[in-house]
Structure 1
Amino acid sequence: MIASYFHGLSAILIQQTQFPVSIPANWLSADDLTVSDPYLKNWLLDTGSLTERLQSHCADFKLELIGQRQMQPELEELTQLRSGSLLVNDTQWQVREVILCGNGQPWVFARSILPQQLCEMDLVELGNQPLGKIIFNDSRFVRSPFQLLKLPDTRHFSDLLAISAQRPLWGRRSVFDFKQLQLMVAEIFLPDCPAYSKQG
């Protein structure tokens, strides 16, 4: 009953959220940002499937799609991709934003920058499937080192959360090579994410 209530609440919040939400551009190399909590650090630098790890912490896992469409990524995002130095337009990319929910609670906000060419081929049936489910079952996707992000509070994501929290939010992102293409996946751990469960 409670899980059903929160799931309905998260769906309402997502419907009210303006797409794209985006992410503040304060990313640093994982070597340049200290993560004092070893449990959180393990989550941030885990190269396995985040989707599968989240699923292991809940009885009910769902992906809520905020939005996906052809559009121009942020300039800062493009500079992290091989094509960042080239002239690009919004028909070459799709931006996809989702919420990963465990037991009806929003746990992770994810933003992906996907080449249109890849969306028309291997990701054409993506829909409400977690992107990670595809990436981590296909050895052709090769991940680059992580960048990390620390946000002082939840204000940027307030429209996604039923209750605002004061704790800093942490995130990670990396670029994946796929043949001659690249895509980027960024994930922000929201306040109720199990990654914070060892914190007071």
Structure 2
Amino acid sequence: MQKCLLDTGSLTAHLVRASEGDFRVQVLAQYWGLPTLSERKRLGLGDRDWGIIREVLLICRGQPWVYARSILPARSLTGHLRRLRGLDSRPLGHILFTDPSLRRVPYELCRYPMAELPEQARININEKETPAELWGRRSCFLLADKPIMVSEIFLPAFEPWS
């Protein structure tokens, strides 16, 4: 798991390879909202700075492997990044890692409480056989010096790549 948490490449690309192409994005929610205090601080946003909040499951081989929450601040969604407003079920990772201006800020690792996952992310997870906390990471990306944050929680079905 440590290799996956510390990997600086595209998680989407790794998942596509690890699942032999049996990969899709299931959008749980995508809406304009106020990020959490912790998210606003990490992105350098003010108390009233809104953005698109996007929560998805990354599905591999028919199983949810990763829960991801992305924060796309309104001030970042200008110019060529305006296209991020309408992602639908397209993977954000593919768009991020094909942008030549991409810079990744050092990320944070965490243990994330299973109970805090959205209910849709906990479906089909036997919580009695699963640890109370799951590994996750939070990354800030700069595209043309505009910040975007992606948090990824590795679910019990996740299969690390070698």
What SS does the aligned partner of 2:18 have? coil
Counterpart of 1:75 in structure 2 is 37
Cα separation, 1, equivalents of 2:16 and 2:138: 20
Cα separation, 1, equivalents of 2:140 and 2:23: 25
Give the number of aligned pairs.
153
- Normalised by the length of structure 2, the TM-score is 0.85
Residue among 54, 57, 81 paired with 1:99: 57
Matching of residue 166 in structure 1 with residue 126 in structure 2 = no
Matching of residue 148 in structure 1 with residue 109 in structure 2 = yes
Q: 1:52/1:117 Cα in 2 relative to 1: closer, same or farther (>3 Å)?
A: same
- 1:150 Cα deviation after fit: 1.1
Counterpart of 1:185 in structure 2 is 150
Q: Which has the higher strand share?
A: 2
Residue among 108, 124, 129 paired with 2:66: 108
- 1:107 Cα deviation after fit: 0.3
- 1:124 Cα deviation after fit: 3.5
What SS does the aligned partner of 1:95 have? strand
Cα separation, 1, equivalents of 2:23 and 2:145: 33
- 1:61 Cα deviation after fit: 0.7
Counterpart of 1:157 in structure 2 is 117
Unaligned runs of 5+ in 2: none
Cα separation, 2, equivalents of 1:95 and 1:133: 18
Deviations 1:135-165 (A, max 9, x none): 01112121001100113x6332372231224
1:126 is matched by which residue type in structure 2?
Answer: L
- Normalised by the length of structure 1, the TM-score is 0.70
Unaligned runs of 5+ in 1: 1-39
Cα separation, 2, equivalents of 1:41 and 1:138: 26
- 1:131 Cα deviation after fit: 0.3
Matching of residue 50 in structure 1 with residue 15 in structure 2 = no
Cα separation, 2, equivalents of 1:181 and 1:107: 28
Q: Is the 8 A contact 2:49 2:73 kept in 1?
A: no
Cα RMSD of the aligned pairs, angstroms, is 2.0
- 1:42 Cα deviation after fit: 0.6
Q: 1:107/1:132 Cα in 2 relative to 1: closer, same or farther (>3 Å)?
A: same
Cα separation, 2, equivalents of 1:158 and 1:53: 24
Cα separation, 1, equivalents of 2:8 and 2:95: 14
What SS does the aligned partner of 2:4 have? helix
- 1:87 Cα deviation after fit: 4.4
Structure with larger Rg: 1
